[in-house]
Amino acid sequence: MMKHFVPIIFLICVHISTYAQMPDWAMMKDKEGNTYYFDKSGKIYTDDVESAYKPVSRDGLEYYTAKVKSLWKAGHRTQSLVIAKSILALKESSMNVVKSKKDINAFMRDMQMKHGKRFVDINTDAWLYLTKEDTTMYVFNDKVPYIVALQGNAEIIAAKSVDSLQYSSTVMRAGIRFSETSGYDAIMTIVAESFAGTIESIRVLEQHWRTVAFDTFDRELLKYSDSMALYSFVTRDNVELKGMELLLAKENRGYCVRIFTTKERYDLYKETMLTIINSFSTP
C-alpha cells in the first residue's frame, strides 16, 4: 500500500509580484514553497542558487578525470562520485572515453576497497548525474532508476531524495531553454518513488497521486495503458500554465514526469516537450 507523501510541484498560488525591480511580472509558489516568476513574454525565472550539477561531455575528459580525484582528496566526495558516474555514463564514442572510463573504474574500485561501507553510502548519495552528447543533456538517476534526454539548453534547478524503511523517493527539477534569451521556456519535474510492494496497475498509481497531492488541473488524456498514462493539463490560476504529465508504474516503482510552460507558449514548444517526455525510460 502506498501511504507516503509525494513531494512534487503542484501550483496553488499566483499573484502579481511586489518586487520593485519586476513590477510587471507575476509570481507563483507551489506547495513545496518553490517560487517562479513570469515576465511579460512568458519566460520563467526562479530564485534558486546556481546548480552544482553540471553535465560531463567527451570534451575535456582529462579535466573531469582529474577533478574526480581532486574533489575526493579535498573531502567533496559526493560531488566527486557524481562526476565519476557521469564519465562512466558517457557513450563510448572514442578511445579517449574508453581510457577515461577505465581510469575511473580503477579509482572507484580502490576507494571502495579502502572505505568499504562509507563508500557505499557516498555512492548512494551521488544518485543524480548528467552527460552532454552533442546538443542533448542526459539525466541519470540510479536510486529510483530512470534516464531522460533534455533537448535545448537545460540545467538542474534542484534535486533531493528521501529514504526510509522500504521506501525511497527522489525529486529533480530542471529549467529548459529552447531559445537563447534569459529565463526558462519550460520547467520539468520528475518524482520517482520506490515502494515495498508491487504497484498493481496505473490506476493504483493514479489514485495514489491524486490522493496525496491534490490539484485542480484541467486534464486531457492523451494516451493510456496498463502501466502508463499521459495527459496534457492546464492550470486554473491567473497565470495559466500548460504542459504534459506522464504517470508510469514499473514493478514497485512509480514515476510522475511533468513539464510545463505558459499557455501562450505551449503550441510553440509542444512537440519538443513531447519528445522529452517520450525519451523518459526506466529499466
- Nearest CA to 245 out of 268, 218, 282 is that of 218
- Nearest CA to 68 out of 56, 58, 59 is that of 56
3-state secondary structure of 202: helix
Q: Are 139 and 279 in contact (CB under 8 A)?
A: no
Would you list the DSSP string of 217-271?
-EEEEEEE-SSEEEEEEE--SSS-EEEEEEEEEETTEEEEEEEEEEHHHHHHHHH
Predicted pLDDT of residue 33: 61
CATH architecture of 136-279: 3-Layer(aba) Sandwich (3.40)
Predicted pLDDT of residue 17: 38
Would you list the DSSP string of 89-148?
HS---SHHHHHHHHHHHHHHHHHHHHHTHHHHHHHHH--EEEEEETTEEEEEETTTTEEE
Placement of cell 517526455 in the chain? 277
Boundaries of every domain in the chain: 136-279
Per-residue pLDDT of the chain (283 residues; tens, 9 = 90+): 555 544 444 443 333 333 334 556 777 776 556 677 788 777 777 765 556 789 999 988 999 999 999 999 999 999 999 999 999 999 998 999 999 999 999 999 999 999 999 999 999 999 999 999 988 999 999 999 999 999 888 999 999 999 998 999 999 999 999 988 788 999 999 999 999 999 999 999 999 988 887 788 999 999 999 999 999 999 877 678 999 999 999 999 999 999 999 999 999 999 999 999 999 999 9
Cα dist from 70 to 64, 65, 104, whole Å: 10, 9, 13
C-alpha to C-alpha distance for 178 and 154, rounded to whole angstroms:
9
